[in-house]
A and B are shown apart, each in its own frame.
Chain A
Amino acid sequence: MKKISRRRFVEGTGAGIVAVAAIPEIKAQDKPIATSPSVPRTTIKLNVNGVDHRVEVEDRWTLVELLRDHLDLTGTKIGCDRGECGACTVLVDGTPLYSCSQLAVWMDGRSIQTVEGLAKNGKLDRLQQAFIDHDAPQCGYCTSGQLMIAKALLVSYEKKNAEPTRDQVRTAMTGNLCRCSNYNHYVEAVMAAVKRPTVTLDGGNA
């Protein structure tokens, strides 16, 4: 079986990922791939949590690699690195995405919000406070992702001037796994945050 490069894997995610997951995963090392002597690089501009960055990235880097290894924003976690668990969820121009399944080069000109960008002016986002109050994190490893998907959800309902139901919250967050299985408290926390008034697009408490 031919080794799938990271870039090809990431670009193939979506419809392809289920097929990839179903194939026996340990491969015979019969066809070692050659390594190119020089790795292609691209300079991109992006905004992360309100700060502009100009960085030269390797084309094979994922967004989560860029954030964690090169911008020192380690609040975003890697749980699977293959688009299955949601621990690496960040907002890209307001849209929640698995940052393990986005290449860094695709982020040119985009605005990223991570868990580190939720609190504003020393004040916690209402979701963060609700997560504390309702003991949403157990081990805490999936928590950043749960916060970011919940943030996107609340913002989208705020735009519609509506409030999500409990089932809508569960549906929206179902791509974010929690093996401690503290789902009851996560949903409870998000519903409690819904009840608090107003949320702004940039993540602050209005």
Chain B
Amino acid sequence: MTPLKTVGHPTHRVDALQRVTGGAKYTSDIKLPGMLYARVLRSPHPHARIRKIDLTKALALPGVKAILTHENCDITWGSGDQLNQRRLFNNPVRFAGDPVAAVAAINRHVAEDALHLIEVDYEVLPFLTDLEEALKPGAVAIHAGGNLSPNNQRQPVPQTYKRGNVADGLKAADRVFEDNFTSAHHNNAQLEIRVSIAEWSGDKLTVHAATQGIANCRTDIARDLKISADNVRVISEYMGGGFGNKNQCQDSDLMAAMLAKQAGAPVKLEFTRKEDFVAVHGRWSSRQSYKVGVKNDGTLTAIQMTALSGAGAYRKGSCDLSGTEIYQVPNLETSVSPVYTNTAVAANYRAPAYPQAVFGIESLMDDVAYALKMDPVEFRLKNMTRKFRDQTPYTSNGLEDCIRKGAEKFEWAKRWKPIAGSGPGPVKRGAGMAMGMFGSGLGRSSAVLRLDGQGQYHLHVGVTDVGTAAKTTMGLIAAEELGVPLEKVSVIWGDTDTCPYSVGESGSRTTVQTGMAVIEAARDLKKQIADKGAPKGAEILTAMATTNPQALQGVTRSSFAAHFAEVEVNVETGHAIVTRFVSAHDSGRVVNPLTAQSQVQGGAIQGIGMALHEELLYDKRSGLPLNAGYYGARIMTHLDAPLVDVVWVETDEPYGPFGAKTLGEPTIIPTVAAVANAIHNAIGRRIKSLPITRDKILGALSGKDVLA
């Protein structure tokens, strides 16, 4: 791979200074003149019909300026669940936390006080928290069509995929392995809570949103409020993390807009941390059943997966499960049924469909390898994907190098024990690995590049920078193509009035999609400079490019990763910690090794939390969430986090900006399975249910069935 001048060198973020001085203005830092503060009242019941809402006392409280309920605000929140026409305020309410009312007042204390003066008469309905219960005949229907959420064709049947013939493949196998795995709903838990500020000026609405995509947030708001997108401006200058839960427009954006309209003043709507855990979505749970056919030499003949995924009370995400694609196998069948229950809504969280599914298939494949007395690394090298879906060649595939170089860095041969559970003493060490892949999302993106008479370039891109250093990445790509230092490129971002359309920071696609538009704009500008000469004085040269990539024909582009974990498990207390971790990644050329390393380390550490701690627990008798907060969620802390070594496998990728492939989401995909496999290697027991908490470890060691 040819070294480049700007791309590929560790570079500080262009906004690093703002981020360390408190100068970066996040949405919650913005205060508008005359701004009101708003809070949301939520259902205390998992399932109930609202008979009556009495606002008399709340409206009488001095300082209350506007109250919305389902009676005066019938707005469909499209990106909340288009299928079921989810409203901002629903009746019936379908989970503990479903919004019932929103109040705007002169300050947040008055707004909070007003919530307690709203009198709601509920008719409590039967509720469901369990996926299997929800599918039983006679179960209370959470939506009109029943509790099995429809497939992509909107038919009330599971989402399926098939190639070859699994029955034949299982017949041809020497051995067939079957097992079940479960994973829990857990929260994105980004540090920045939901906050939206809305201000009307005549017909024109400005929303300061904490969003991952200003452009789709804008079009969503326009669609849901039935106004022209030309009249909507969305600003998101700094954004405090989302990991998928700030895609598109949020209910808070729409509520703030409607409150501002009713009150005739700007409104800042804030969710509390508790609301963020209960009423903002997390990763969907799953129940996965597998059959795997294998020859005695380790060759796979068939994989079958039948699964349920937990949509929660509404269908906000795909609820898909994607793990089996990392294996080369001629016969494959998958079936996924998203199921409604009266629990928190599930949707996108960093590689939404992947780490829980990879946990299932990679746990089972690990068992297959042990049963065949094969080294898990050798088993993966033998069976890893060489063609997408056994058919389409990859544009580049560094998975084998990820496995080999990752294993070398990790010192796999030294750390992995051929006999799981062996070793003296109560603290058992073990090593595990897993692999993963991810293709980036597609989408239209534009970039505008201007050159002024003083020789400064101005790059306008519709990114918000969710923490991935997207601004810096866009600047680096422009600088490289223009052949100028990064300082010569000013990046303008985060405002739909000053930035062209960008697909949004989801699906790990900013670098590979918006980055291509930046390159096209830079090429156009270079041509203009060659034709017309550089601008002088007040002159400005402007170039604009729009790219709208379609799926590649005859080839597939994917990023790859292999993760390696070493754990220590105390078999007397059940306490497990990760002591060593290696993430090996093929994301093509790495645009900025400094910030890319941050992402890989962060993804792995997040994944370790998913593997060991995180679950939003429900009390099955009351249908109420039990641990909605950081203490209860037990996300990773400084003390939990191991050092993560990063290994780059930079393949020669023909597509993408300077050969870059996607990175943000793959960083968490194999992590969970690698940790689970390391625990198995340490204690000689397979834990089949996420998270792998102490009680499950102790239960497995004492021989109890822990499959919840």
- Listed in ascending order, the chain A residues whose CB lies under 8 Å from chain B are 3, 6, 17-18, 21-22, 24-29, 32-33, 35, 37, 39, 58, 60, 68-69, 72-82, 84-85, 87, 114-116, 118-119, 124, 128, 131-133, 135-144, 147, 169-171, 173-187
Contacts of A142 in B (CB 8 A): 191
A174 near B26 with CB under 8 A, answer no
A22 near B627 with CB under 8 A, answer yes
In whole angstroms, how far apart are the Cα atoms of A68 and B25 in the complex? 12
Q: What class of interface size applies to chain B in its complex with A?
A: 35 or more
Closest to B639 in A: A174
Closest to B240 in A: A141
Q: Is B658 an interface residue (CB 8 A)?
A: no
Contacts of A147 in B (CB 8 A): 20
Please give the distance in Å from B606's CB to the nearest CB on chain A. 5
Q: Is B97 an interface residue (CB 8 A)?
A: yes
A114 near B22 with CB under 8 A, answer yes
In whole angstroms, how far apart are the Cα atoms of A25 and B44 in the complex? 9
In whole angstroms, how far apart are the Cα atoms of A114 and B23 in the complex? 12
For chain B, residues 634 to 660, give those with C-beta under 8 angstroms from any C-beta of chain A: 635-639, 641, 643-644
Query: A135-B13, A140-B467 in contact; A179/B619 too (CB < 8 A)?
Result: no
Closest to A24 in B: B624
Q: Is B273 an interface residue (CB 8 A)?
A: yes
Count A/B pairs, Cβ under 8 Å.
Answer: 225
In whole angstroms, how far apart are the Cα atoms of A142 and B110 in the complex? 28
Please give the distance in Å from B515's CB to the nearest CB on chain A. 19
Q: Is B706 an interface residue (CB 8 A)?
A: no
Q: Interface with A: B114-122, B166-174, B331-339, B544-552, which one? A: B114-122
Query: A138-B599, A181-B602, A185-B598 in contact; A173/B638 too (CB < 8 A)?
Result: yes
In whole angstroms, how far apart are the Cα atoms of A150 and B244 in the complex? 30
Q: Is B690 an interface residue (CB 8 A)?
A: no
Q: Is B16 an interface residue (CB 8 A)?
A: yes
Contacts of A25 in B (CB 8 A): 274, 278, 624-625, 628-629
B631 near A143 with CB under 8 A, answer no
Contacts of B598 in A (CB 8 A): 135, 138, 180, 182, 185
Contacts of B624 in A (CB 8 A): 24-26
Closest to B604 in A: A181
B272 near A81 with CB under 8 A, answer yes
Contacts of B605 in A (CB 8 A): 181, 183-184
> Which of A69, A119, A179 touches B241 (beta carbons < 8 Å)?
A179
In whole angstroms, how far apart are the Cα atoms of A187 and B640 in the complex? 13
Residue of A69, A173, A182, A186 contacting most chain B CB atoms (<10 Å): A182
> Which of B20, B25, B193 touches A143 (beta carbons < 8 Å)?
B20
Q: Can you report 25 A-B residue pairs in the complex whose CB atoms are below 8 A from each other?
A: A24-B622, A25-B625, A26-B278, A26-B625, A28-B44, A29-B41, A35-B110, A35-B117, A78-B193, A84-B629, A116-B22, A128-B20, A131-B16, A132-B16, A135-B12, A135-B13, A135-B597, A137-B13, A138-B599, A139-B190, A139-B191, A173-B638, A176-B638, A179-B243, A183-B637
